[in-house]
Structure 1
Amino acid sequence: MTAQPKIRIRGLKKSFGSKRVLDGVDLDVELGTSFVIIGGSGSGKSVLLRCILGLIEPDEGSIEIDGVDVLRVPGAQREQLVQQIGMLFQNGALFDSMSVADNIAFGLRAKGREKTARPTKAQARVQAGEILKQVGLDPSVGALSPSELSGGMQKRVGLARAIAGTPKVLFFDEPTTGLDPIMGAVIDGLIVDCVKRLGSTAIAITHDMASAQRIGDKAAMLYHGKLVWQGLASELMNSGNPMVDQFTHGRREGPITMELRR
């Protein structure tokens, strides 16, 4: 008997006006797997993540977490399922008006299953210092504001907030965008360490092929709203699929055509 996937998506469709962004996406993400989704700008990667997070309502299809369709359960149960998810946004999305420690404390308190089980603000700040250590930062960084941090440090703090509350599912939206190659490798290493330590299931979307291979166990490519290939992340650069090969090697010629606006 095949084990139930942690995340199971079937027939997912989403249009904005006349533009079909997701066109029947089927995807299984197994428990404890890091799954990477690649694809060009406008291919539907971010919309797919937002549908799973409940930020966008798809037109058709199902999204199951642990066998429960999050699109067809009462609001309270849906919120509980979504609370299992930690998210590292592309730009960090830190609250400028809060200190680093309070940003992480916000994540800790937001993930509290019951109000009585939520840590106090003071307790959350102490826990935030411990989480900063997990992403390679000294707890003293907690006193700083996001504007005082470098791009790499902001990514680490964003990761710290994402793992606050030990989520069962982690999403990463272009985790290495804006970073130099060395810092990108550092962030990828931290992501892999955090996912393994938490025993989480992860989905990442990225344009960075080196990052995709470092983070992912499995991978898929989204093109014109459809998954055109799925396989091992280690096979991304030698998939045998013409679309994947053109994209991963950055070739101008091939089956993928760029839509230019005039």
Structure 2
Amino acid sequence: MSAALPKIRIRGLCKSFGEKRVLDGIDLDVEAGTSTVVIGGSGSGKSVLLRCILGLIQPDAGTIEIDGVDVLRQPRREQERQREKIGMLFQNAALFDSLLVWENVAFGLLARSGRGGPRIRRSDARERAGEVLAQVGLDPSVGDLAPSELSGGMQKRVGLARAIAARPEILFFDEPTTGLDPIMGAVIDGLIVECVRGLGSTAIAITHDMPSARRIGDRAAMLYRGQLVWQGPAASLLDSGNAMVDQFTHGRREGPIGMELRR
């Protein structure tokens, strides 16, 4: 009996900007229903990796398969349909100031309806927004507020509600705890885990926050100079046995990363 295909399978992914090679032959499997966290320093290629999977950046080489289909070789319309499987929690929530909270949460549902996707009335979209706001611990009445009336933690919850509103098969989290105090960061991580498990989604998160990485990840991978230098259980991040990972996760000044940065 053959093994099940990973939900996301990446092979030989490369991307350069001018002479700078940001991704240099990335191989990564993300099994269905699991969460993978990608760690690494600023400029290591984490965000570029996510944007390539999302289709926002065209890689120079390699394959990105979702459910066994190489999305890079699909027609544009099929690529758009694949993207509809994905929900995204952006760094700093990235809410639209001109829209009410409920409109932010339901934005994807309403946008798809306008592009010929499943039709949804505004009243139904508003009801769905209230449901997912409750899932992330906010009263549905918050939907009538403007984003500017919310605290940073509440904005992050609204961003998470928007990400899960369409019940996506895949969820991406871009630095989900940035700007939050440790307690609120732990709250957001707990909500992420609950939402991912509740939906049965497959998740990829990028983060600098080691407690967050261990809370939300089943697996972990570290990017350094465009390459994955380690992959393993997220629970092993603090005792990986890899010198680069150990230096990064413990915040040590001295080590293989520091030596290379001084050249």
Which TM class, normalised by the smaller chain length?
over 0.9
Matches within 5 A, 1:142-157: 142-157=143-158
Does residue 38 of structure 2 align to residue 37 of structure 1?
yes
Q: Give how far 1:117 is off.
A: 2.5
Gaps of 5+ in 2: none
Q: Assess, with a 3 A threshold, how the Cα gap between structure 1 residues 148 and 237 changes in structure 2: closer, same or farther.
A: same
In structure 1, the residue matched to 2:254 is 253
In structure 1, the residue matched to 2:68 is 67
Runs of 4+ with deviation above 3 angstroms: 110-116, 258-261
Using the size of structure 1 for normalisation, the TM-score is 0.97
Letter in 2 for 1:169: I
CA distance in 1, matches of 2:238, 2:112: 38
Does residue 144 of structure 2 align to residue 180 of structure 1?
no
In structure 1, the residue matched to 2:212 is 211
Letter in 2 for 1:26: D
> Contact 1:112/1:165 (CA < 8 Å) preserved in 2?
no
Using the size of structure 2 for normalisation, the TM-score is 0.96
Gaps of 5+ in 1: none
Measured against aligned partners, the alpha-carbon deviations of 1:174-196 in whole angstroms (never above 9, x if no partner) come to 00000000000000000000000
SS where residue 73 of structure 2 aligns? coil
Work out the number of aligned pairs and report it. Answer: 261
SS where residue 115 of structure 1 aligns? coil
Over the residues paired in the alignment, what is the CA RMSD in angstroms? 1.5
Q: Give how far 1:239 is off.
A: 0.2
Q: Assess, with a 3 A threshold, how the Cα gap between structure 1 residues 113 and 209 changes in structure 2: closer, same or farther.
A: farther
Letter in 2 for 1:212: A
In structure 2, the residue matched to 1:11 is 12
Q: Assess, with a 3 A threshold, how the Cα gap between structure 1 residues 113 and 80 changes in structure 2: closer, same or farther.
A: farther
Measured against aligned partners, the alpha-carbon deviations of 1:66-105 in whole angstroms (never above 9, x if no partner) come to 0111100111111101110000000111100000001112
Measured against aligned partners, the alpha-carbon deviations of 1:92-143 in whole angstroms (never above 9, x if no partner) come to 1110000000111212223559836221112101111111000000000000
> Contact 1:111/1:165 (CA < 8 Å) preserved in 2?
no
> Contact 1:131/1:164 (CA < 8 Å) preserved in 2?
yes
> Contact 2:112/2:118 (CA < 8 Å) preserved in 1?
no
In structure 1, the residue matched to 2:54 is 53
CA distance in 2, matches of 1:121, 1:49: 31
